[in-house]
Amino acid sequence: MHRTGRADLMVALSICLILWASAFAGIRLGLRGFGPGELALLRFIIASASLLVYALITRLPMPKLQDLPMLFLMGFLGFTVYHVGLNAGEVAVPAGAASFIIASVPVFSTLLAVIFLQERLTVLGWTGAAISFLGVAVISVGTGTGLKFEPAALYIVLAALGESLFFVLQKPFLSRYSGLQLTTYTIWTGTVFMMVYLPGLISQLGRASAASTLAVAYLGIFPAAIGYVLWSIALSRADVSRVTSTLNLSPILSLIIAFLVLGEVPTVLSVVGGAITVAGVIILNTLGKATRPSVSRRARVE
């Protein structure tokens, strides 16, 4: 990768990580006025509308008909499953702890890349994955005031799996769609599945506070629309495992933002579990990669 291209990649990833890290606190604020599904729907109605304006101005082309089934699947996994699951988990799990569980996304993504993209792992790679999952287990029993399992953490694990599948499945499509195009299509298709929450959203809009509504609006425009475009651009320029490894920094940023915005102080077990999770991801991504059998094609980015 040329020096200019590497700099562009780092800028895109840095902005994306800050926006995504802020989303955990934004979700907690939004949940004060909306249910998990209703919050996700409102967030992505706003994100879809933002991208629709851009699409009309730039005359964004429609996707190929034969790609629609996969685009709907990616939208369902990457947006419906991920965001409804994350929201449901954050009803009980603090923002900082939730961000640590989501830190397992690189592990899921790498394991799925081994299956679908023929990437390879060493013994240390598999060890790192196991350590990371151990960390998630520690977080799941240490998010409350006592030592007990928090069932809501499973929603976030499900969200992480859905997001990982999305990251891996979108890689081949970035060879024929730009990052902006693919993000737009999958946000739209994911929002279609969320429409089941429309009746509840209509009733909750009248009761939600202005602060909760503004928090959801922020989530729709910045972490959703802008954040996912930047992520797709970065993913089109580097390997899945290499790009997703940068998510290691997100929990640290999320803890800081959650403390500043919400006054949340993480439990000791949450921090310990988070450190274990991130350590496993680092081991996997620095020591666990074998030489890949081939070099994938790079995508066109507009």
Please give the chain's pLDDT, 302 residues, in tens: 555 566 777 788 888 989 999 999 999 999 999 999 999 999 999 999 999 998 998 899 999 999 999 999 999 999 999 999 999 999 988 888 888 888 777 788 778 878 777 777 788 888 888 888 888 888 877 665 455 567 888 999 999 999 889 988 888 898 888 878 888 999 999 999 999 999 999 999 999 999 999 999 999 999 988 887 787 777 767 665 667 666 667 888 888 899 899 988 877 887 888 888 888 878 876 776 665 444 333 333 33
Domain span at 123 = 3-287
Q: Is residue 7 part of a domain?
A: yes
Is residue 231 one of the residues assigned to a domain? yes
Q: Which of 133, 131, 154 is nearest to 143 (CA)?
A: 154
C-beta neighbour count of 112 within 10 angstroms: 19
Q: Is 111 domain-assigned? A: yes
Q: Is residue 147 part of a domain?
A: yes
Number of domains in the chain: 1
Closest CA to 43 of 201, 176, 174: 201
In a domain, 295, yes or no: no
DSSP annotation of 4: H
Q: Compute the residue count for the chain.
A: 302
* Other beta carbons less than 10 A from residue 36's beta carbon: 21
In a domain, residue 78? The reply is yes
Among residues 115, 243, 247, which one has the least CA distance to residue 179? 243
